[in-house]
Amino acid sequence: MTPPIIGILVSTSFILLFSVVFRYERKNEKRILREMRESFDNIVLYVGTKSSFVFKYMCRDVFRQSIHYFFHSFLSGVLIFLEKSEKRVQSALHSNKTIAKKSSRIGANRNKLDEIAEHKISTALTDEEKKKRREEMLEM
């Protein structure tokens, strides 16, 4: 026999047994194995009460915990975004500081004579222009 058929037969036999016992008790107005059945009743009542409490607690708080988890995840994402943004801003500030120091060093080392020398180089005549000017001066 297969397990499902065995399960059906066992369940049917227990249902029949319990129905016979309950009819007998109702007819005689006396419980069979009263103390043992009361202890089982107390156990079933205790388990039912605890499971009802747990079920109510879970149903009530699952929604609240889900919202809490959603906001926690959202705020964690915002925090990660802000940390990355802060690192980018810090690196930009650091590179700007480096560039500013370099430019201030270059500007601080230059004086008026350096500027004159630079102007002289940028406006210097080529060799051909110098020859032309000499020739013009000699022809005069």
Per-residue model confidence (pLDDT) at position 122: 85
Per-residue model confidence (pLDDT) at position 91: 92
Dihedral sign of CA atoms 25, 33, 42, 17 in order = negative
CB-based contact 31:25 (threshold 8 Å)? yes
**118, amino acid identity:** E
Per-residue model confidence (pLDDT) at position 115: 81
Per-residue model confidence (pLDDT) at position 130: 86
Per-residue model confidence (pLDDT) at position 59: 78
Per-residue model confidence (pLDDT) at position 60: 77
Per-residue model confidence (pLDDT) at position 44: 93
Dihedral sign of CA atoms 107, 113, 117, 120 in order = positive
Per-residue model confidence (pLDDT) at position 107: 62
Domain ranges in the chain? 33-89
**Local confidence pLDDT in tens for the 140 residues of the chain:** 899 999 999 999 999 998 998 898 888 888 788 888 889 889 999 999 999 988 887 777 788 888 999 999 999 999 999 999 999 999 999 988 888 777 767 666 667 787 888 888 888 888 888 888 888 888 87
Q: What is the largest CA-CA distance in the chain?
A: 155
- Residue 9 makes CB contacts below 8 A (sequence gap 6+) with 1
Per-residue model confidence (pLDDT) at position 43: 95
Neighbours of 25 (CB within 10 A): 14
Measured CA angle at 111 (ends 107, 114), to 5 deg: 100
